[in-house]
Amino acid sequence: MDIRVLQYFLAVAREESITKAAESLHMTQPPLSRQLKDLEDELGKQLLIRGNKKVTLTEDGMLLRKRAEEIVKLVEKTKVEIASSDYDVSGDIYICGGESDAVSFLAQVAYDLQKEHPQIHYHIYSGGAERVTEKLETGLVDFGLFVTSPTDIEKYNYIRLPMKDTWGVLMRKDSPLAQKDAIYAEDLWDKPLIVSHQLSKNNAMFEQLKKSESELNIVMKYELIYNASLFVKERFGYLIGFDKLINTTGDSDLCFRPFSPAWETELFLVWKKYSVLSRASEIYLRRVQNEIEKLESL
């Protein structure tokens, strides 16, 4: 399977037309059609439904599109890594992780490193453990930030970060529970709750609340806490999440209260075992390790 042919296939999927794809690729239609037919023959699957007005993808075509995009990105990433010199380090660092205040630590390391190596660029992706793991396994990111230890942690190299995330409840300042210094499980049993999709798959939350999912009034599940906080602001419910992710100071309508007993989560920076990191990623990793040593020596 030729990378060039995958790029041709992606162009057709994007344009939904072999004619328009050929124009964007600066080639004529017959050789492009032939390349696509050869690709279908090689895979033994129909990838395209050629209609009168547009070309659509079959189910196998949609799968190939997803994988082809990953392959093309990985090839481009590899080219950049190999092209960077030993002395003038450049390239891209890819990080994927859940929402956490620990990202501010990673950002500070990147800021300090950029002063010495301004040609290093960063790509940050957000997602739960499943997305982080998928991107690590396919090589699309260099590092994953896990807000809990991956179940298969032995597959990876990792650093345990020195900070922890504190769980609690985000609510309006005029909510009845805002008068409390800490939130107990029973305080939430009769309240409308907003939880993350990732957290709802974790038994730890239900252990903390001492109730099963069916016994709780979960009115919404979220991916990004900022979007969910807007629902909290509109009195939709009480959000279970991490501290320090939403501004609750000054004239904000919101406040955060931690759980009692305290519920904290360890943080891990993870990368694949036996993988070859780019020069930029190696330098970044060493800087992270150095900064952790400084914090632990205080």
Tens of pLDDT, residue by residue over 123-145, are: 999 888 888 888 888 888 999 99
Position 137 scores a pLDDT of: 87
* C-alpha closest to that of 142 among 255, 278, 17, 293: 278
Q: Is the pLDDT of residue 44 over 60?
A: yes
Query: Cα–Cα distance between 233 and 67 in angstroms, integer?
Result: 40
Would you place residue 106 in the very low, low, confident or very high pLDDT band (cuts 50, 70, 90)?
A: very high
Confidence of residue 52 (pLDDT cuts 50, 70, 90): confident
Residues of the chain above pLDDT 90, percent: 52
- Let me know if 258 is exposed, middle or buried by CB neighbors in 10 A (0-12, 13-18, 19+): middle
What is the rounded average pLDDT for all residues in the chain? 89
The candidate with the shortest Cα–Cα distance to 102, out of 294, 293, 292, is 292
Residue 77 has pLDDT above 80, yes or no: no
Say which range, 99-108, 198-207, 242-251, 258-267, has the weakest mean pLDDT: 198-207
Q: Name the nearest CA neighbour of 9 among 75, 80, 58.
A: 58
At 239 the pLDDT is 97
* pLDDT for residue 86: 52
pLDDT at 177 over 60: yes
- Mean pLDDT value of segment 196-206: 82
Region 111-131 average pLDDT: 90
State the Cα–Cα distance between residues 2 and 102, nearest whole angstrom.
41
Structure tokens at 176: 């009845």
Read off the pLDDT band of 83 (50, 70, 90).
Answer: low
Strand pairing report for 91-97 and 143-146: parallel
